[in-house]
């Protein structure tokens, strides 16, 4: 049996759908089972034959975390450590998600899993601490560092852009932060393949869609594909701007491109970001 933690989040809902599509037996929990309370986790897991735990929960409010680092730490680090301890008690394998924010972002070549993390935001620090807690408390873990996550469930950059394209004739979009999006649909399909293979290739992995783009590049493609599908006008003017022109409480990595050679060794399929964006629009139509 699979235990899906964070079943109501953007990624959690996508993973739940793929588990159903593949007739895989799973139980899901969300806020009703508090991951920061290990007794609640133990109580839930008792008498269940859990082989895998997929942790799709987390504190993800990047800017808010600057003022709420202790709260973010409790969820992203203490909670993850609790999950790891329970997994170890059960002998279960854990899938956990981290972030490109564990890196400072001043690199110029794709980040490998062996590169030294150096987070420069509260969110990044709490996520790195979560990785440390997981590794400290269990040996059967897969940590997937992902970037720029978006999907058909929940709020994300793509949905925000489509809304703004319908509200404003002109927008400034950051052009000096470079990385790659991660579409939840493709990620979830890859995760199901991993579970089915019952892999023991434990460790840290970097994963995103294929590509090397800025937020400006992403916004342009969202506008162009969205306009073709009648979701927004194609006349919206997009102006590239610098990070300095759009200050935020949390520092973002200027460069967060991943080297994904290692994750391909797990059999993960990597798809280009434009193709995944097209799939996103197609799959979004099916849930209306």
| Residues noted as catalytic | 123
Handedness of CA 247, 256, 206, 81 (dihedral sign): negative
User: How far is 35 from 257, CA to CA, in rounded Å?
Assistant: 30
User: How far is 231 from 224, CA to CA, in rounded Å?
Assistant: 10
b/e map of 175-210 (b: 16 or more CB within 10 Å)? Answer: bbbbbbbbbbbbbbbbbbbbbeeeeeeeebbbbbbe
Q: Give the phi and the psi of residue 113 in degrees, each rounded to 5.
A: -65, -25
| Nearest CA among 229, 234, 232 for reference residue 282 | 229
Q: Which helix (H) or strand (E) holds 231?
A: none
Here the tokens at position 8 are: 């109501």
Residue 4 in contact with residue 27, Cβ under 8 Å?
yes
Q: Give the phi and the psi of residue 229 in degrees, each rounded to 5.
A: -95, 5
- 3-class secondary-structure state, position 95: strand
| Nearest CA among 140, 62, 53, 162 for reference residue 102 | 62
Only one residue has tokens 């964006």, namely: 277
User: Chain centroid to CA 26: how far?
Assistant: 21
Here the tokens at position 260 are: 């994904």
């Amino acid at each position: 049996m699979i235990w899906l933690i964070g079943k109501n989040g953007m990624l959690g809902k996508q993973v739940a759908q793929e588990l159903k599509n593949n007739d895989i037996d799973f139980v899901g929990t969300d806020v009703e089972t508090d991951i920061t309370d290990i007794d609640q986790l133990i109580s839930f897991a008792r008498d269940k034959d859990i082989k895998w735990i997929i942790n799709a929960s987390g504190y993800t409010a990047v800017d808010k975390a600057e003022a709420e680092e202790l709260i973010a730490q409790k969820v992203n680090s203490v909670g993850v450590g609790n999950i790891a301890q329970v997994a170890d008690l059960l002998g279960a394998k854990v899938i956990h998600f981290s972030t490109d924010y564990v890196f400072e972002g001043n690199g110029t070549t794709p980040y490998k899993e062996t590169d030294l993390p150096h987070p420069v935001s509260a969110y990044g620090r709490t996520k790195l601490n979560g990785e440390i807690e997981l590794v400290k408390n269990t040996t059967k873990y897969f940590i997937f560092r992902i970037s720029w996550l978006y999907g058909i469930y929940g709020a994300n950059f793509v949905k925000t852009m489509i809304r703004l394209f319908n509200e404003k004739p002109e927008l400034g979009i950051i052009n000096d932060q470079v990385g790659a999006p991660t579409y939840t649909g493709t990620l979830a399909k890859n995760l199901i393949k991993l579970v089915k293979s019952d892999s023991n290739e434990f460790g840290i992995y970097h994963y995103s869609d294929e590509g090397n783009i800025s937020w400006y590049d992403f916004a342009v493609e969202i506008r162009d594909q969205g306009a073709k599908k009648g979701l927004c006008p194609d006349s919206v003017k997009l102006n590239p701007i610098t990070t300095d022109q759009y200050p935020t409480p949390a520092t973002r990595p200027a460069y967060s491109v991943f080297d994904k050679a290692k994750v391909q060794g797990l059999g993960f399929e990597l798809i280009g970001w434009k193709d995944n964006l097209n799939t996103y629009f197609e799959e979004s139509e099916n849930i209306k």
